Amino acid sequence: MFSWGEDCQRGFWLNGDSSTDRGVHHLNVGYNVTGLSAGGSVLAFVKSNGNAFILRTYEGKDGNRVRGKQKFVKCKEKIEAVSCEDDVVTLLSERGSVFCVDTTHTPRILGAFSNIQVAQVACGSQHSVALTKECQVYTWGLDSRGQLGLGKKGSGARSPQQVRSLSSVPVVRISAGGDQSFALSVSGGVFCWGRNNCGQLGLGDTKGAVGNYLIKLSLTTTYSNV
């Protein structure tokens, strides 16, 4: 694994002088990693055998970020993919089950998907997106910038809610970051919603939050991933 960015020098990086060195740094975990994700203060990864692990950083007495101990997530199902919010980790199992892991490191299965198989999960800063194997999109978490795309104003959703605006769209991929969410249709169309104060959605403007409705980007190229 390799890490870079603000916290890698004080948190996730394992070797060397973090006060002087910059750039990309190697984390030698000693085994094959098949998936990983990093959030504001957490790093999660999954091994080839389906075991998931979490590393967290916290503020030390000197104000610098300090890396905590690597924690194994005890889960009854083999994990296929991970995605991180700022401090919460979402796990996707090989069976299509979704688990959330907070600072207690105890996985909590999301009952909303008990009879629904999930194909992909993606997390923003404080919200999550899930794509089912039936091509339906669900969101949950904070909704202060319209990042859930539910078409109504609110503080958020404690449990997964279906994004009705996309119910008739055959979505094949999803992505999330910060306060934004994206969906890719089978025809290569890209849909976006959430915060846009700095043009994050790629709409050509900075009109702020776009949350009460979803926008299909006007692109001259079709895409295969987001």
Single out the residue in 42, 76, 109 at which a domain terminates: 109
- Whether 27 and 44 map to the same domain: the answer is yes
- Whether 222 and 198 map to the same domain: the answer is yes
Give the integer Cα–Cα distance in Å for 191 and 203.
Answer: 11
Give the integer Cα–Cα distance in Å for 83 and 110.
Answer: 15
Tokens coding 210: 């776009």
**Largest separation between any pair of C-alpha atoms in the chain:** 53
The vertex-166 CA angle with 160 and 168, nearest 5°, equals 125
- Whether 93 and 145 map to the same domain: the answer is no
Per-run averaged pLDDT (10 residues), the chain, 226 residues: 63 50 69 90 94 88 81 95 95 97 93 96 97 97 91 85 93 94 91 86 73 59 60
- Whether 123 and 220 map to the same domain: the answer is yes
- Whether 154 and 172 map to the same domain: the answer is yes
Give the integer Cα–Cα distance in Å for 173 and 161.
Answer: 17
> What local confidence, expressed as pLDDT, does residue 1 receive?
76
Domain that holds residue 14: 1-109
Give the integer Cα–Cα distance in Å for 205 and 223.
Answer: 22
- Whether 147 and 73 map to the same domain: the answer is no
Single out the residue in 109, 126, 156 at which a domain terminates: 109
> What local confidence, expressed as pLDDT, does residue 64 receive?
75
- Whether 121 and 226 map to the same domain: the answer is yes
> What local confidence, expressed as pLDDT, does residue 9 receive?
46
> What local confidence, expressed as pLDDT, does residue 203 receive?
76
Question: Using an 8 Å Cβ cutoff, are 35 and 45 in contact?
Answer: yes
> Among candidates 154, 14, 39, 176, which has minimal Cα distance to 102?
39
CATH number, domain of 171, equals: 2.130.10.30
- Whether 215 and 134 map to the same domain: the answer is yes
Q: How many domains does the chain contain in total? A: 2
> What local confidence, expressed as pLDDT, does residue 124 receive?
95
- Whether 134 and 223 map to the same domain: the answer is yes
- Whether 82 and 174 map to the same domain: the answer is no
> What local confidence, expressed as pLDDT, does residue 17 receive?
47
- Whether 85 and 133 map to the same domain: the answer is no
- Whether 29 and 61 map to the same domain: the answer is yes
Single out the residue in 91, 109, 127 at which a domain terminates: 109
